Chain A
Amino acid sequence: MNLKFNNKRITGILTVLPARVMKFEDNMANYNFSESKSLKLKQVMGYDRHRMFGEHVTTSDVGVFGLEYLFNQGLLDKNSVDALLLLTQSPDYFMPATSNVIQGRLDMKHDMICMDINQGCAAFEVGLITAFSLLEQENINKVVLLNADLLSKKVSKHDRNSFPLIGDAASVTIIEKDPAESVIYANIKMDGTRHDALMIPAGGFREPASPKTAELQDDNGNLRSRENLAMKGDAVFNFVQTEVPPMIEDLLTFSGIDKEAVDYYMFHQPNKFMLQKLADKLGIPHHKMPNNIVENFGNASGVTVPTAITFNIGDKLTGNSYYFCLAGFGVGLTWSSIVIEMKNLDFCRMIEY
């Protein structure tokens, strides 16, 4: 589905990264594979360091930390926030919504909208699209998009398929009405028939947690329980290589913007291997599509796109203008992309928690 938004802009991006760093080698003894095989995986996939929050830290803790930082630094006026969107797959509770919890902990005004949306790999794009839609309202002038995922707790340490790449992180993006004339182009697609490609099978209402769902099972040498995140690597790889290139081509055609005119292709970061294949397939030079987030921080689902922006060009974005093609693809399955010009942001930085 093609979407078009007039006169909206991103005015700030903050990424909150865990201070705790883990190296690939730190967990290697937990895998049922020889050291040489694991080191080869590390090299091909581009695994190295990844970051995880402490065991008792939750999404609302990290969200409150990021927003308080912006309030205290004078980068965001608490009373100006008309909507708080939280995109997460790791809420504090089944109920109530974690965005309501955050609003309460920060004592924000009542005259606003709080909304949790369950999206992962494409959560930055889905969040932006939702924010742009809310800003169509006369009384909504500023939306805070909070992306947060703390899924490392849900990944088995004995699962070499997922543990080396998982990371935790959060980001706060400010979206406002643009006083200048501007157009943002987007597209989005969903395919729920493939919802089992990436999932946590047990712990919800369909398969409640029990001693049985906590038992580790062997899947080709990888040990994980029904309560752990499970990824079908081959299905995800084929999905990305098949669906993403035509999506990007369609978006560029729809927007009328040349492939070469786009300064940065900031894509979700599953691993270096998959991003290099994507860049080659699309004929995009590798320097325009950074792929260094998994090796430095890990894959924190939807937060990888804002992390790629703040880490790679954060300091440039506060004084320059660039055309971006953003894309997210994965759990759902959901895939979405956006062409947007970003310029002179009020802030674009990373902090640690």
Chain B
Amino acid sequence: MDQFYQRLAEAIDIETVNDDMVFEELDEWDSLTVLSVIAMMDSDYGLTIYADQLKKLRTVADLKEFILASKK
């Protein structure tokens, strides 16, 4: 998970991300960033996630938690 924050920032195309960030409140958040995060989940973690599932993960911390839970 070392690269998680950096890779997520790249996917959303912003400088940095932190745990408390709420996806829906970001100006950058749209269908393209959603797809970029879906692609990152696939390439970095081998996880398949759908837009509806991602919508339920409100914050960066939620997404991180989801990855850790899926990896167990």
- Whether A44 contacts B32 by the Cβ 8 Å rule is yes
Q: A234-B38, A280-B43 are known contacts. Are A242 and B32 too (CB-CB below 8 A)?
A: no
Interface members, chain B 1-55 (any A CB < 8 Å): 13, 30-32, 34-36, 38-39, 42-43, 48-51
Evaluate contact between B39 and A233: CB separation under 8 angstroms: no
With both chains docked as a complex, state the minimum distance between the C-beta of A323 and any C-beta of chain B, in angstroms.
Answer: 28
Residues of A contacting B30 in the complex (Cβ-Cβ under 8 angstroms): 33, 37, 221
Contact A281 B31 (CB under 8 A): no
**Once bound together, how far apart are the Cα atoms of A194 and B35, in whole Å?**
19
Q: Does A40 contact B (CB under 8 A)?
A: yes
Q: In the complex, what residue of chain B is closest to A242 when comparing beta carbons?
A: B48
Considering only residues 203-237 of chain A, those with a C-beta below 8 Å from chain B are: 220-222, 233-235, 237
The A contact surface, by secondary structure, is helix
Interface size on B, residues (CB 8 A): 15
Interface size for A (C-beta < 8 A) is 22
- List of A residues within 8 angstroms of B42 by Cβ: 237-238, 241, 277
Q: Is the CB of A277 within 8 A of B32?
A: no
Chain B's closest residue to A44 (CB) is B32
A106, CB-defined interface residue at 8 Å: no
* Known A234-B50, A234-B51, A238-B42; contact A44-B31, beta-carbon cutoff 8 A: no
A119 at interface (Cβ–Cβ under 8 A)?
A: no
Counting chain B CB atoms within 10 Å of each CB, which of A238, A242, A281 scores highest?
A238
Query: What's the Cα separation between A211 and B43 when bound, in Å?
Result: 44
The answer to whether the Cβ of A161 comes within 8 Å of any Cβ in the partner chain is yes
Report B-chain residues with C-beta under 8 Å of the C-beta of A222.
Answer: 31
Judged by a CB distance under 8 angstroms, whether A313 is at the interface is no
Given contacts A234-B50, A235-B50, A241-B42, A161 and B31 within 8 Å (CB-CB)? yes
Does A238 lie within 8 Å of B38, measured CB to CB?
Answer: yes
Residues of B within 8 A of A160 (CB): 31
The 6 residue pairs across chains A and B that have the minimum distance between CB atoms: A234-B51, A238-B48, A41-B32, A241-B42, A234-B50, A234-B38
| Sample of 23 A–B contacts (CB below 8 Å) | A33-B30, A37-B32, A40-B13, A44-B36, A160-B31, A161-B31, A221-B30, A233-B31, A234-B34, A234-B38, A234-B51, A237-B35, A237-B39, A237-B42, A238-B42, A238-B48, A238-B49, A238-B50, A241-B39, A241-B42, A241-B48, A242-B48, A277-B42
* Residues of A participating in the B interface, judged by any CB pair closer than 8 Å: 33, 37, 40-41, 44-45, 160-161, 220-222, 233-235, 237-238, 241-242, 273, 277, 280-281
